[in-house]
Amino acid sequence: MARLTRAETQERNRAKVLVAAREEFAERGFRDAKVDVIAERAELTRGAVYSNFPGKRALYFAVLADLAARAEPSPHSRPGADARSTVGSFARDWIVRDAGLARDLPSEVMADERVRLPYAQLMELGALLLALAVERLDPPESPTGAPPARYVRRARAVLTSLHGARQLTVAAPGFVEPFDVISTCEQLAELPFNDWWAPPQVSPQPRPADEPWAPGEAVDLVRGEPVRLPSDGVVAILGLHRLAVVEEAVRAGADVTLVAVTGEPAELGPLARLVITEVAACLRQAFPEAAWPGLRVVCDERGELAAAAGVAAVSDATEVAVRVAGGRIVARADGFGACHAVSAGRLAPAAAANHDRSS
């Protein structure tokens, strides 16, 4: 039998820990689960568990993210024909998913400020994804001369109802009537919110660049599959405190890839994958493929894509955007407004020349 490499051994041990942790959390809940017991279940040492996960909460987030990625789609879910029926299908698929192991997630998020802010931004991103899908299915109308209308506030209201129903299902068994929740979400989809997009008032000037762009494949959480990142478009490298600003690039009409980075990848990386995977999985079930958001979302826990974009060090406050043309980075900006600057701003002469040569 061939001897396993160190990387293969670590991957096998990680998988064993996840299985053991899932069993322990299912039996005892997060609070009463013990790392020592998880190690025994996995037939590993306590040190082997901690070599893969820095703590019990990081392990809990990883288990939930793994379950979300493996969840089977509902056999009864069908894409809707309009915004109302499609949001209803989204809500139905959300409700039928087993959230038993996630019952301790809200308390763990609320317990630590370092988790609350990233979680809030992940929720904003989830609402944007849902809104973009509804907008593709049922484009909102804007009065002449008015800012572009959008569905983000309605998407927030839908996700608020669904998350609230999930928590009450655990806290007050029997209180939540699933069909009432679905009906509520359908009606929220049609509420006349005064919702429109206003671009940022201040943004930096994009800087011309001429750098290689060769990121290879990555897993797009929106589609749930590996994709080859495009050689043309905008790449937004955003820390988990800044995710919502990706809308600045989307509303400018660019082809956008969001690369989510964090200063705490072992713990917050799985949380990011969990939140986006849950929304995206229900979205893929409820919406026809033509309505799926064009926005790609990649969780860059190792910082490899950020490095490919020339961002050597990342944190939860990272905000960098680059424009790619013909497989090369031709412009970049960083700081507040970077996404809008690169997406909507005119290329500087040097960058424009590079773009012309690559076309």
Kindly provide the b/e burial profile for residues 252-272, where b requires at least 16 CB atoms within 10 angstroms of the residue's own CB: bebbbbbbbbbbbbbbbbbbb
Residues above pLDDT 70, as percent of the chain: 93
Please compute the mean of the pLDDT values over residues 302-312 and round it to a whole number: 94
Which of 1-10, 247-256, 347-356 has the weakest average pLDDT? 347-356
> Which tens digit of pLDDT belongs to each residue from 234-247?
999 999 999 999 99
Residue-wise pLDDT tens digits, 50-78: 988 999 999 999 999 999 888 877 666 67
Q: What is the mean pLDDT of residues 270-281?
A: 96
Contact 243, 121 (CB under 8 A): yes
Contact assessment for residue 322 and residue 331, using Cβ atoms and an 8 Å cutoff: yes
% of the chain surpassing 90 pLDDT = 71
> The whole model's pTM is what?
0.91
Tokens of 112: 């630590």
Residues 245 and 256 sit within 8 Å (Cβ to Cβ): no
- Quick one: which of 327, 321, 356, 325 has its CA closest to 339? 321
Instruction: Give 128-139 pLDDT, tens digit per residue.
Output: 999 999 999 998
Tell me: the pLDDT tens digits for 145-160? Answer: 677 899 999 999 999 9
d(CA 212, CA 264): 28
In the block, residue with structure tokens 């964090």: 262
Region 81-102: mean pLDDT is: 88
pLDDT value of position 5: 80
Confidence band, pLDDT 50/70/90 cuts, at residue 346: low
Cα 94 from Cα 175, distance rounded (Å): 17
pLDDT tens-digit profile of 177-220? Answer: 999 999 999 999 999 888 998 888 877 899 999 999 999 889 99
Q: Select the more confidently predicted residue: 345 or 22.
A: 22
pLDDT at 354 over 50: no
Counting every residue written for the chain, the total comes to 359
pLDDT at position 356 over 50: no
CA distance linking residue 201 with residue 221, whole number of Å: 31
C-alpha–C-alpha distance, residues 52 and 14, integer Å: 6
**276-286: average pLDDT:** 94
Residue 225 vs residue 79, higher pLDDT: 225
Please give the pLDDT value at position 77: 66
Average pLDDT of the chain, as a whole number: 90
Residue 351 scores a pLDDT above 60: no
